[in-house]
């Protein structure tokens, strides 16, 4: 285990509108506001989305199991924003539901908002953290080693 500590900085209340791409809008906001580290929670609905619901087998690097939907689903999620290769990387785990169909996983790729998604972003200050690709593990974990601004 590794950790670092910091404090809550700016707080953003965001409305993502019908037809918008949820992840793309979060990336655009992070770029516009120069958010380098944050946690967020969200609620609303998506018309379409793709989720990774685990690895096919318990080995690294993982081969993802994909599921998705293309009709309106409620969404409730929690995620973070850290820089990877000097760009904001969104990591969002969410539960989605429609009638008796409930899915839980890591939302990736295109995700079209249905009606609205409300996002509450808490910027983290005093933290030197970046996502750095680990080819052995097959993903980009948060790395707390001080990283120069120009990676």
For residue 146, pLDDT beyond 90: no
26 membership: H or E segment, kind and range: helix 22-32
24 membership: H or E segment, kind and range: helix 22-32
Three-class SS of 28-80: HHHHHCCCCEEEEEEEEEEEEEEEEEEECCCCCCCCEEEEEECCCEEEEEEEE
Q: What is the mean pLDDT of residues 65-81?
A: 98
For residue 148, pLDDT beyond 60: no
pTM passes above 0.85: yes
- Measure the CA–CA gap between 52 and 70, rounded to whole angstroms: 15
Confidence of residue 112 (pLDDT cuts 50, 70, 90): very high
Per the structure block, which two tokens stand in for 71? 């009709």
Q: Are 43 and 96 in contact (CB under 8 A)?
A: no
Confidence of residue 149 (pLDDT cuts 50, 70, 90): low
Q: What is the mean pLDDT of residues 110-136?
A: 96
- Measure the CA–CA gap between 26 and 72, rounded to whole angstroms: 20
User: Where do the domains of the chain lie, and which CATH numbers do they carry?
Assistant: 8-126 (3.30.1330.80)
Confidence of residue 13 (pLDDT cuts 50, 70, 90): very high
């Amino acid at each position: 285990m590794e950790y670092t500590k910091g404090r809550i900085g700016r707080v953003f209340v965001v409305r993502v509108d019908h037809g918008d791409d949820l992840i793309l809008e979060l990336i655009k906001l992070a770029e516009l506001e120069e958010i380098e580290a944050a946690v967020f929670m969200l609620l609303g609905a998506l018309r379409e989305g793709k989720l990774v619901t685990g690895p096919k087998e318990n080995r690294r690097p993982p081969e993802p199991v994909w599921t998705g939907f293309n009709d309106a689903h409620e969404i409730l999620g929690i995620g973070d924003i850290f820089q990877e290769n000097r760009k904001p990387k969104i990591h969002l785990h969410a539960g989605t539901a429609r009638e008796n169909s409930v899915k839980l996983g890591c939302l990736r790729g295109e995700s079209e908002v249905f009606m609205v998604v409300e996002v509450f972003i808490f910027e983290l200050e005093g933290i030197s953290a970046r996502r750095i690709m680990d080819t052995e593990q097959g993903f980009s974990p948060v790395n707390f080693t001080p990283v120069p601004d120009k990676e």
